[in-house]
Copies of this chain bind each other. A is one copy, B any other.
Amino acid sequence: MSIKAGVVGAAGFAGIEAVRLLLSHPSFELRAITSSELAHTPLSEVYPAFEGVTDLRFVSHDDPSLAQCDVVFLAVPHTAALETAPEFIERGVTVIDLSADFRLKDPAAYEAWYKVPHTQTKLLARAAFGLPELTGGELQRAADQQKQGTPALVACAGCYPTATSLAAAPAVRAGFVRPDAPIVVDAISGVTGAGKKATQRTHFCFADQNVEAYGVGTHRHAPEIEQILQAPGRVVFTPHLAPLGRGLLSTVTLQLTPDAPRDIQAYIELYRNSYKESPFVAVLDAGKQPRTASVAGTNRAHIGLALSEPAHVLVATGAIDNLGKGAAGQAVQCANIVFGLPQDAGLAGVALSV
């Protein structure tokens, strides 16, 4: 089976990673890659990794080849998907959206955080949230509809919410976390997370040899995490930028209920059980901590768990590649599910060990 695929916004970091994954995917056939600025330019001119590999050129966003696709991946800035997604859906094209536009179930929350009205509330209502390990039900429903001819719309989870929720959800869902206490999320991202735009912030000479926090108390991924964990108003989210390219580590501090286990092994078993169906999530042994380098370039997530006593707190850490499981990898995984493929089709790669 060959499913015709397109990537809209293919020149950005998430987009180009989707292109890389789709070019070697056994079931998707990449037909169109768009970029408004780079239309007509060969892919290999912009990204020389593809030199000698493909003759693909960027096309404009309205290129007719897109309409012939079975599925499009939207790697566009937020609000842009609000316009683009409905057009594809109407034409019967499945949409895997990497933007934030269809993530927050509550349009009011979207409007509060993104400062624009949500113009597609109907579509929003039927969008599936794409974090397969935690929202598998929604994706299965989308897959069923897809089978019956209704094109799916998947709103893939953001990078920070993915790492954070994979690290926190099993404990929260098991009722081990105090429902009245803040959930403290301190996360660290590589510079690819800041995007392709050349700014002082992403300049090598300012980003290298530096660590800093940013968006403290105001980052738009906070409500997304709260939605997944069903913990409204409780997430205290502080992202940090560190001098590496790919990689995201989320350190989640969860205050436990008095009754929650005081033995780390109990949590490890709980987590392993939660993720036993996922080929991508590995829960490490007690005493080990995940390394972002060990998942870079892949769709994998490594989870570490430790107790901090006497405060009776669980420190759960989740490492992913922000462009992999945090963006393009997850998008392909969601597309696999929607189209009834094995969820790891084209995603079996292992990180470089060095």
> What is the interface of chain A, defined by CB distance below 8 A to chain B?
13, 16-17, 20, 23-24, 47-53, 181-182, 184, 186, 188, 190-192, 196, 198-200, 202-214, 216-217, 233-238, 240, 242-247, 249, 251, 253, 255, 279, 281-282, 284, 288-298, 300, 302, 304, 306-311, 313, 315, 317, 319, 323, 348-354
Contacts and interface: CB of A to CB of B under 8 A. Distances in A.
Nearest to A43: B353
Given A49-B298, A204-B204, A211-B242, 5 more contacts: A24-B349, A184-B253, A190-B209, A191-B208, A234-B311
Contact of A306 (B181, B216, B289): B216
6 contacts: A182-B253, A209-B246, A210-B292, A213-B290, A236-B311, A240-B249
Nearest to A310: B233
B188 A211 contact: yes
Contact of A216 (B279, B308, B354): B308
A242 B187 CA distance: 12
B51 A213 contact: no
Contacts of A284: 48, 51
B49 A353 contact: yes
Number of copies: 4
Contacts of A182: 253, 255, 311, 313
A85 to B, nearest CB: 25
A291 B50 CA distance: 12
A320 to B, nearest CB: 11
A204 B200 CA distance: 10
B251 A210 contact: no
Contact of A315 (B47, B238, B292, B349): B238
A352 B20 contact: yes
Contact of A236 (B47, B234, B313, B351): B313
Contacts of A47: 294, 353
A212 B308 contact: no
Contact of A204 (B50, B216, B243, B317): B243
B311 A212 contact: no
Contact of A209 (B251, B255, B296, B323): B296
A251 B205 contact: no
